[in-house]
Amino acid sequence: MTKTIFITKNPPSPQFLSELSHKYPDMDLSAVETLSLLLRTTIQILNVTDLDLARHNISRGRLSVLSHLNRQPQGSATPSQLADLIGVTRATVTGLLDALERGGHVTREEGNDARSVLVRLTPKGLKLLEEILPDRFKKVRGLMKGLSDSDRRELQGLLKKVASGLPSYSGK
């Protein structure tokens, strides 16, 4: 079952945020407003994505596994490689693989030694990707149609700058 992330439709008013900035001197009003808009937009995109993928009975996590397997030159990966590629724990990947294997979208095979396992995309898994991806790409194009190529490059650069601040945001 996919999780839908809810966010309020009514963000805090500029007046309320301004009052907060007087109460909390370290608050950067513009930074808070910008992050709020970025998060709201991201959550709205993820909610729509989750609803679209639910029509195919697949989650974003499972789609990530199938997509990464499809991109592997050898056509397979170990569960720990998939965990690293997707950015989740090995336990999370195990759960994703269990569901994908039950659905016939991946197989697990013995690797080079008795302790290693290789995960392979099945023809059914590839077919599912081929059903999902054209619509996903069409929706991404529609989402971004209001941005010129120059706007998109600028947005990419700005998002990279935001991402460079993640260590400070996470306290690391």
pLDDT at 115: 72
pLDDT at 146: 97
Provide mean pLDDT across the span 8-17: 77
* Tens-digit pLDDT profile for residues 84-122: 999 999 999 999 999 999 999 999 998 777 678 999 999
- pLDDT exceeds cutoff 50 at 4: no
The region of weakest confidence among 3-7, 109-113, 143-147 is 3-7
CA pair distance 131, 154, nearest whole angstrom:
31
* Tens-digit pLDDT profile for residues 33-59: 888 889 889 999 999 999 999 999 999
Q: Give the C-alpha distances (Å, rounded to integers) separating 164 from 8, 65, 137.
A: 27, 26, 27
CA pair distance 65, 82, nearest whole angstrom:
7
pLDDT at 9: 64
Given the DSSP bridges, would you call strands 106-110 and 117-121 parallel, antiparallel or unpaired? Answer: antiparallel
Give the neighbor-by-neighbor strand order of the sheet with 117-121.
Answer: 76-77, 117-121, 106-110
Domains, in order of start, for the chain:
1-55 (no CATH), 58-172 (1.10.10.10)
What φ, ψ does residue 108 adopt, rounded to 5°? -115, 130
Provide mean pLDDT across the span 124-134: 96
pLDDT at 14: 81
Percent of the chain with pLDDT over 90: 70
pLDDT at 2: 43
pLDDT at 1: 41
The residue with greater pLDDT, 18 or 54, is 54
- pLDDT exceeds cutoff 90 at 29: no
